[in-house]
Amino acid sequence: MHAEQRAMFDALRTNSDSIKGADLYFIRIDEEGIKLPAGKPYCTICSKMALDLGIKNFILFHKQGIKVYDAREYNNLSFSFED
């Protein structure tokens, strides 16, 4: 299970009335607590779940800086991901 899925399930359990229109932040952290850049959107399970729950934005830390993706854009990018 991805961290994004865990975050969405946790939000459903604890703050279900606040999910619609929420932002989901994602950052990778290594064992020493150092921030690592995220890759391109690729997980269609996470992106569809976010759309179904009404998440507004995915916010990722990339090498070039922070990028805000509208949930629909993130979903489209996930479905068009090429390795």
One-letter-per-residue 3-state SS of 11-64 = HHHHHHHHCCCCEEEECEECCCCCEECCCCCCCHHHHHHHHHHCCCEEEEEECC
pLDDT (average), residues 15-44: 92
- Report residue 83's pLDDT band, with 50, 70 and 90 as the boundaries: low
pLDDT at 40: 87
* Three-state DSSP state, 70: strand
* Three-state DSSP state, 69: strand
- Bridge partners of 59? 25, 68
Arithmetic mean of pLDDT over the chain: 93
Amino acid identity for residue 69 in this structure? Y
- pTM for this prediction: 0.83
